Amino acid sequence: MPSPAREPTFLPLTVAAAEQAARLAGEDPAALALSRRAEAADSAAAGCWLALVAGCDSGRQAVLDAVRALTEEASGRAGDLCGSVPRRRLAEAELRVDEAVREADGAEFAEALADYDQAAATVVVHVSNRLGNLSR
């Protein structure tokens, strides 16, 4: 059985921020949906990484779909609260992930995901703040 400490993670900041948002918001469906999207994107990224390392095509579309869904969920939930710069940075980071996946460039994929993680976590923190304010 794999050890959770040894499981690959590509979006640690985003997953942690989304989990924090879910904890702060309690049973809020929006926070839970955001947390599930973050976990799904992280899992898809790990699968894509393994496929890229193995030279396979499987898993590529799954990560693109999961990252797109996370971007839409986070940006939609953030609304105008975080302004256009963090949302634009997130969209640009998503495009970089897409490019790396389509080129099957493992090193670029890892770098793109690190950038995406930072951008997504920033937006998720804004969402968390918004959900926290709404639940009070």
Residue 1 lies in a domain: no
Q: In this predicted structure, what is the pLDDT of residue 1?
A: 35
Domain housing 99: 11-135
Residue 100 lies in a domain: yes
Distance CA 121, CA 40 (A): 15
Backbone torsions φ then ψ of 83, nearest 5 degrees = 80, 175
Q: In this predicted structure, what is the pLDDT of residue 59?
A: 84
Residue 35 lies in a domain: yes
Instruction: Give the global pTM.
Output: 0.89
Distance CA 125, CA 113 (A): 18
The count of structural domains within the chain is 1
- Positions in the chain short of pLDDT 50: 1-4, 135-136
Instruction: Tell me, letter by letter, the H, E, C secondary structure of 65-105.
Output: HHHHHHHHHHHHHHCCCCCHHHHHHHHHHHHHHHHHHHHCC
Cβ atoms of 111 and 4 closer than 8 Å: no
